[in-house]
């Protein structure tokens, strides 16, 4: 290679690797596989070694991870969080073993093998046994302080167990989300009309960078420790240090094992390469570490990684197939999802004919065209994903396709909200897939729980023109649906099934609809499918406002005063009740007999608070906020949603909003503590 070519290639690789670094670490958006990224980095390292005069001062080979988020305070790691060298081959692992033995001048080395979690690295700093700081990897030298978010993770102790710990202790681990919890999290996001996460690592990465620690607490995050730094402790081995961490209350790898030869390491790798799919969390390889701490000190570090550790990465199973066409699917909330139709190919034990394309940005970044040969992976993904294009095999038959501009179902022009990746069909009240999706959500178990109705029967009733609105369900007549038939065809087109509604089916459907009228108001509110209003939020709104009428008349300030209701949810609720068609639909549902208010508890304890108006804010010790509100009403008082001149008392718990406190003080409204309130009603 000529010098000019080398310089040009080094420049191009530096830019490309930096871009992928930013996408991966800052935006949790990996456009290429780990293997491809490592190959790019390896090529750059090789060229820089051959042509050092062209090496950039800020070369990505000297960096670990991505740039620092400006949203958090930064912290300089006392000990840099270096990355590990990667290998994908047995021969390179043998070379690592030989280097260790030669460098240390020894014949036998004991290694510790651990699974390489596919999560997000974190540094945990304890002082006098208390967690004082949690810091992300960042660029390896400086990271973001995310302590409040990390404190919400249950597997991380806030206080160390026992008293056998040094004054200062740093532990490093991996934040991850278990597979089953990830599936549940994505189902909840889709229920709320939000885009699902691509994989558990992206979900974990996004979670620890959230600004609201209360929202982080709802994410099913876990932490596994893999390294201990304790200058005051004299450990003989890495294995011993992790056992020490376990005694302090940390989760450590239960799958780690020690081997006195590289052959044992290979057996560990083979066993877990075969069994990785049985785990409830994602791994992408195995980490091999020299166990003896004295030997680790002798081996030391390079500028980028320790000489005493290496990671063996599994290649994600990848296949090549042809992209035939792209469908655009419409979800319940109008979100458009592009789906690739592929030539059938076997991948990870299943036949794959469709794969996610996620959104327009990813299609453009990958430069995907019809009739291209594309690479499909399933490693680390719940559904198959197109990760690249074989551009060398591209022919004149490949053609650029336009992303849908109009809804494929109703023809409405699509919109794209600022800061969101997805396009949406705004025709929410008349777009067929959105109507059917809304009805399917309405009848679901967590909502109205209408027995004997399901996706297939909803489609039958919709196709017959009998249901277009939620309220239509409650005015269906038996004679109108008796005898309806529909022929369903499987996705591959080879199997068919005919469903028909006979007398018993019709009777069961109507009984289920009638029974659903007894579902309480919080369930009804959730069933309406208001965007961002999930099951928990619906319950809090219903409990706070007590009736649909009160909720409909609430303003923005009243809505955001409700626990866990932020600006996005509040605006969505306001938008819902601003539409005349929605109001008419609510009137029909109310006329059908649905529960539109919470039945008041008529048990009266006293009238001591009669005529007094309270605003309750903050977190309490003895009672929950709702229990305190019930006590106010049981003693004759009234609950108000916002502070005004008519408010008699503000009952303040911990973390009361500063704006509310300032307003109460400006209006000279008495502020009670939980203890003051208890004395008031006891007296």
**What string of H, E and C letters represents the secondary structure of 353-390?**
EEEECCCHHHHHHHCCCECCEEEEECCCCCCCEEEEEC
Strands (E), 59-119: 74-76, 85-87, 111-117
> Is residue 137 a part of any domain in this protein?
yes
Same domain, 141 and 273: yes
Please say whether the beta carbons of 637 and 612 come within 8 A.
yes
Which of 313, 331, 362 is where one domain is finished?
313
Q: In angstroms, how far is the first alpha carbon of the chain from the final one?
A: 91
Q: What mean pLDDT is reported for the chain? A: 86
Phi, psi of 52 (to 5 degrees): -60, -25
**Residue 432 predicted with pLDDT over 90:** yes
Q: How far apart are CA 386 and CA 461, in angstroms?
A: 36
**Structural tokens at position 362:** 């990813």
Element (H, E) at 407: none
- Residue positions annotated with a catalytic role: 116
Token match 């794969």: residue? Answer: 355
Q: How far apart are CA 66 and CA 139, in angstroms?
A: 5
Closest by Cα among 27, 25, 56, 61 to 41 = 61
Q: What share of the chain in percent tops pLDDT 70?
A: 93
The confidence band for 29, taking pLDDT boundaries of 50, 70 and 90, is low
User: Average pLDDT for residues 508-534, to the nearest whole number?
Assistant: 93
449-482 tens-digit pLDDT: 997 888 888 988 998 999 999 999 999 999 999 9
650, 656, 662, 668: CA torsion to nearest 10: 20
Same domain, 504 and 565: no
**Structural tokens at position 358:** 């996620």
Integer angstrom CA distances of residue 671 from 205, 651, 661, 664, 665: 40, 6, 9, 8, 8
Phi, psi of 576 (to 5 degrees): -60, -50
pLDDT for res 67: 45
Please say whether the beta carbons of 110 and 291 come within 8 A.
yes
User: Average pLDDT for residues 175-197, to the nearest whole number?
Assistant: 83
Closest by Cα among 295, 288, 283 to 268 = 288
Closest by Cα among 537, 570, 540 to 554 = 570
> Is residue 367 a part of any domain in this protein?
yes
> Is residue 640 a part of any domain in this protein?
yes
**CATH classification of the domain holding 650:** 3.40.50.10190
User: Average pLDDT for residues 393-415, to the nearest whole number?
Assistant: 93
> Is residue 423 a part of any domain in this protein?
no
212-239 tens-digit pLDDT: 887 888 899 999 999 998 877 778 999 9
Same domain, 386 and 446: no
Q: How far apart are CA 578 and CA 581, in angstroms?
A: 9
**CATH classification of the domain holding 348:** 2.40.50.140
Cα-Cα-Cα-Cα dihedral sign, residues 489, 490, 495, 500 = negative
**Structural tokens at position 331:** 């979800």
pLDDT for res 340: 93
**Residue 493 predicted with pLDDT over 60:** no
Strands (E), 501-652: 613-617, 638-639, 649-652
**CATH classification of the domain holding 57:** 1.10.287.610
Phi, psi of 650 (to 5 degrees): -110, 120
**Residue 575 predicted with pLDDT over 60:** yes
**Residue 47 predicted with pLDDT over 80:** yes
CA 230 to chain centre: 33
**CATH classification of the domain holding 502:** 1.10.150.20
The confidence band for 490, taking pLDDT boundaries of 50, 70 and 90, is low
Which of 62, 87, 102 is where one domain is finished?
62
**Residue 646 predicted with pLDDT over 50:** yes
> Is residue 354 a part of any domain in this protein?
yes
Other C-beta atoms lying within 10 Å of the C-beta of residue 187: 10
Same domain, 135 and 255: yes
**Structural tokens at position 283:** 């791994």
pLDDT for res 489: 60
Q: How far apart are CA 199 and CA 203, in angstroms?
A: 6
Q: How far apart are CA 379 and CA 595, in angstroms?
A: 47
> Is residue 381 a part of any domain in this protein?
yes
Phi, psi of 121 (to 5 degrees): -70, 145
Same domain, 96 and 195: yes
242-252 tens-digit pLDDT: 999 988 888 88
For residue 617, the 8-state DSSP code is: E
Same domain, 172 and 270: yes
Same domain, 258 and 308: yes
Same domain, 57 and 138: no
Same domain, 143 and 230: yes
Same domain, 436 and 584: no
> In sequence order, which residues have a C-beta less than 8 Å from that of residue 597 and are 6 or more positions away?
521, 546, 547, 548, 549
Token match 């820089």: residue? Answer: 48
3-state secondary structure 528-568: CCCCCCCHHHHHHHHHHHCEHHHHHHCCHHHHHCCCCCCHH
Residue 37: domain span: 3-62
pLDDT for res 58: 66
590-614 tens-digit pLDDT: 999 999 998 765 456 788 898 899 9
How would you class 232 by CB atoms within 10 Å of its CB: exposed for 0-12, middle for 13-18, buried for 19 or more?
exposed
**Structural tokens at position 621:** 């010790």
**Residue 64 predicted with pLDDT over 80:** no
Integer angstrom CA distances of residue 670 from 91, 264, 539: 75, 71, 29
What one-character-per-residue DSSP string does 429-479 give? Answer: TT-HHHHHHHHHHHHSTTTT--TT--HHHHHHHHHTT--SSGGGGGG--HH
> Is residue 402 a part of any domain in this protein?
no
**Residue 68 predicted with pLDDT over 80:** no
Does residue 310 sit in helix, strand or coil?
Answer: strand
Phi, psi of 316 (to 5 degrees): -60, 135
Q: How many domains does the chain have?
A: 6
Which of 281, 313, 345 is where one domain is finished?
313
How many residues are listed for the chain in this entry?
683
Same domain, 193 and 216: yes
353-400 tens-digit pLDDT: 888 888 888 898 889 999 999 999 875 455 688 888 999 999 999 999
Same domain, 300 and 171: yes
Q: Which of 194-198, 410-414, 652-656 has the lowest mean pLDDT?
A: 194-198
Rg of the chain in Å (alpha carbons): 30
pLDDT for res 59: 77
**CATH classification of the domain holding 190:** 3.30.470.30
Token match 């044992």: residue? Answer: 264
Q: Which of 22-36, 151-165, 268-282 has the lowest mean pLDDT?
A: 22-36
> Is residue 412 a part of any domain in this protein?
no
268-304 tens-digit pLDDT: 999 998 888 788 888 889 999 999 999 999 999 887 8
Q: How far apart are CA 134 and CA 223, in angstroms?
A: 12
Integer angstrom CA distances of residue 474 from 429, 509, 592: 18, 11, 6
Please say whether the beta carbons of 201 and 178 come within 8 A.
no
Phi, psi of 500 (to 5 degrees): -135, 150
Q: How far apart are CA 81 and CA 169, in angstroms?
A: 15
> In sequence order, which residues have a C-beta less than 8 Å from that of residue 102 and are 6 or more positions away?
none
**Structural tokens at position 87:** 């290998």
CA 229 to chain centre: 30
Closest by Cα among 264, 302, 300, 295 to 106 = 295
Closest by Cα among 392, 394, 380, 383 to 33 = 380
């Amino acid at each position: 290679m000529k010098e000019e070519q080398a310089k040009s290639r080094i420049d191009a690789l530096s830019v490309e690797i930096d871009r992928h670094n930013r996408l991966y670490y800052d935006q949790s958006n990996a456009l290429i596989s780990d293997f491809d990224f490592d190959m790019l980095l390896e090529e750059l390292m090789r060229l820089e070694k051959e042509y050092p005069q062209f090496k950039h001062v800020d070369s990505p080979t000297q960096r670990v991870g991505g740039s620092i988020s400006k949203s958090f305070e930064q912290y300089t790691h006392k000990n840099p969080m270096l990355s590990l060298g990667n290998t994908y081959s047995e021969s390179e692992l043998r070379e690592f073993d030989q280097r260790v033995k030669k460098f240390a001048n020894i014949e036998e080395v004991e290694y510790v093998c651990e699974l390489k979690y596919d999560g997000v690295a974190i540094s945990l700093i304890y002082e006098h046994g208390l967690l004082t700081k949690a810091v992300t990897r960042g660029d390896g030298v400086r990271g973001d302080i995310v302590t409040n978010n990390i404190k919400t993770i249950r597997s991380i102790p806030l206080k160390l167990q026992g008293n056998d710990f040094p004054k200062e202790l740093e532990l490093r681990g991996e934040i991850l989300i278990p597979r089953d919890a990830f599936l549940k999290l994505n189902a909840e996001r889709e229920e709320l009309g939000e885009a699902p996460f691509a994989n558990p690592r992206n979900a974990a990465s996004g979670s620890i960078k959230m600004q609201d620690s209360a929202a982080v607490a709802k994410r099913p995050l876990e932490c596994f420790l893999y390294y201990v730094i304790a200058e005051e402790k004299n450990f003989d081995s890495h294995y011993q240090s992790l056992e020490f961490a376990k005694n302090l209350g940390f989760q450590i790898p239960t799958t780690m094992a020690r081997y006195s030869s590289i052959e044992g390491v290979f057996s560990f790798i083979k066993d877990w390469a075969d069994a990785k799919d049985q785990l409830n969390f994602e791994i992408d390889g195995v980490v091999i570490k020299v166990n003896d701490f004295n030997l680790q000190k002798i081996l030391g570090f390079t500028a980028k990684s320790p000489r005493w550790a290496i990671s063996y990465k599994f290649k994600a199973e990848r296949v090549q197939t042809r992209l035939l066409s792209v469908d655009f699917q419409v979800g319940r909330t109008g979100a458009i999802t592009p789906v690739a139709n592929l030539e059938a190919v076997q991948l990870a034990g299943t036949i794959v004919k469709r794969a996610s394309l996620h959104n327009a940005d990813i299609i453009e970044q990958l430069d995907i065209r019809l009739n291209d040969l594309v690479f499909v992976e399933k490693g680390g993904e719940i559904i198959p994903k197109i990760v690249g294009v074989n551009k060398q095999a591209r022919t004149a038959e490949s053609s650029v396709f336009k992303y849908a501009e109009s809804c494929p179902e109703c023809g409405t022009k699509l919109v794209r909200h600022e800061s969101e990746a997805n396009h949406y069909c705004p025709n929410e009240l008349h777009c067929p897939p959105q109507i059917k999706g809304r009805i399917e959500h309405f009848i679901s178990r967590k909502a109205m729980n209408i027995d004997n109705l399901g996706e297939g029967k909803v489609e039958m009733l919709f196709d017959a023109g009998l249901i277009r609105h939620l309220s239509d369900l409650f005015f269906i007549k038996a004679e109108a649906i008796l005898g309806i038939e529909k022929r369903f065809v499987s996705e591959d087109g080879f199997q068919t099934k005919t469903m028909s509604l006979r007398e018993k089916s019709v009777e069961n459907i109507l009984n289920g609809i009638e029974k659903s009228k007894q579902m309480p108001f919080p369930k009804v509110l959730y069933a309406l499918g208001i965007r961002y209003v999930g099951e928990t939020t619906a319950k809090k709104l219903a409990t706070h406002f007590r009736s649909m009428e009160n909720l409909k008349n609430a303003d923005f300030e009243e809505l955001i005063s409700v626990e866990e209701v932020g600006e996005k949810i509040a605006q969505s609720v306001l938008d819902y009740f601003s539409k005349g068609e929605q109001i008419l639909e609510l009137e029909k549902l109310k006329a059908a007999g649905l529960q539109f208010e919470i039945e008041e508890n008529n048990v009266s304890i006293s009238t001591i608070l009669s005529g007094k108006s309270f605003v309750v804010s903050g977190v309490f010790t003895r009672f929950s906020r709702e229990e305190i509100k019930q006590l106010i009403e049981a003693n004759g008082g009234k609950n108000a949603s916002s502070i005004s001149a008519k408010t008699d008392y503000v009952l303040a718990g911990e973390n009361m909003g500063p704006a509310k406190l300032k307003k109460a003080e400006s209006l000279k409204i008495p502020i009670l503590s939980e203890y003051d309130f208890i004395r008031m009603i006891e007296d």
